[in-house]
Amino acid sequence: MTADKYQIEIPIERGYLDATFVAPQTTIPGILFVHGWGGNQEQYMERARQAAALGCVCLTFDLTGHARTQHEQETVTRATNLADVLAAYDRLAAHPLIDRSSIAVVGSSYGGYLASILTSIRPVRWLGLRVPALYLDEGWDIPKRALHKEHDLVAYRRRIVGSDENRALRAAADFRGDVLLVESERDEIVPHTVIASYLQAFLKAHSLTYRVIDGADHGLSDEGSQRAYTALVVNWLAEMIGGRRAGSRGEAATQAVR
């Protein structure tokens, strides 16, 4: 762990002594986990426990339209869910132990899409995305479920989308922190072209780690894929946080709040 150093003067009878305090930094990284559409916070609980063992404060939560508020799933919009993510981020950042310059956000599918957009509104140092989805910008305030009827998402996701065409990709293009991007080899919902669109967008990232989970489907329906993803996330976080504590430069993403 790095330490803070500051000089002081100690008064004595004939003047003062020059002295230096060296004290451990007391704040620690924070990690926000954002589940995908149809999921819940329990899916990230084990990963949060392992990340907490690295010396972090972790926060999981249920998006509106899921778990206790499942009855709202037919009407909830992307605007509402992005507001959920912002509220969760702000709650994490307000924790008294949190170093606000060392916050990670990890999201899957729809949660990854929202997490990418979040980086354009709040400071994020580390961004972990597993099979992040893409949606057209139009219809932001219509129910999320209706997007599959209003838009041909299958066709949209089968082409490379430029960062100037999509809100999540525009945020990715501006992101200057560290990125983990994880693809499922046999994903039928988020095809490789979507991952390629994100890869193409993250040109300004401080670092980009790209991994494919062999044999995995979109939802990581087998235990082996679940274990593989957990290992990827925890090992990447350990590397990023370890580098931060060792004093590596690692520029934090500090986009202005809009």
pLDDT for res 253: 46
pLDDT for res 22: 77
Structure tokens at 61: 């939560």
Q: Tell whether the model's pLDDT for residue 144 goes beyond 90.
A: yes
Q: Tell whether the model's pLDDT for residue 1 goes beyond 80.
A: no
| More confident of the two residues 154 and 243 | 154
pLDDT for res 245: 73
Residue type, 73: Q
pLDDT band per the 50, 70, 90 thresholds, residue 24 = low
Residue count of the chain: 258
pLDDT band per the 50, 70, 90 thresholds, residue 12 = confident
What CATH number does domain 26-246 carry, 1.10.10.60, 3.40.50.1820, 3.40.50.2300, 3.40.1350.10? 3.40.50.1820
Cα separations in angstroms, 70 against 147, 238, 241: 18, 34, 35
Tens digits of per-residue pLDDT, 207-237?
999 999 999 999 999 999 999 999 999 999 9
Residue % of the chain over a pLDDT of 70: 93
Q: Tell whether the model's pLDDT for residue 250 goes beyond 50.
A: no
pLDDT for res 20: 82
Q: How far is CA 192 from the centre of its chain?
A: 20
Q: Tell whether the model's pLDDT for residue 239 goes beyond 60.
A: yes
Q: Answer whether 154's CB lies under 8 Å from 206's CB.
A: no
Residue % of the chain over a pLDDT of 90: 78
pLDDT for res 258: 29
Structure tokens at 33: 């986990």
Least-confidence region, from 9-18, 77-86, 230-239 = 9-18
Q: Tell whether the model's pLDDT for residue 249 goes beyond 70.
A: no
Spatial distance between the Cα atoms of 104 and 85, rounded to a whole number of angstroms: 13
| Residue 144 buriedness (CB in 10 A; 0-12 / 13-18 / 19+) | buried
pLDDT band per the 50, 70, 90 thresholds, residue 10 = confident
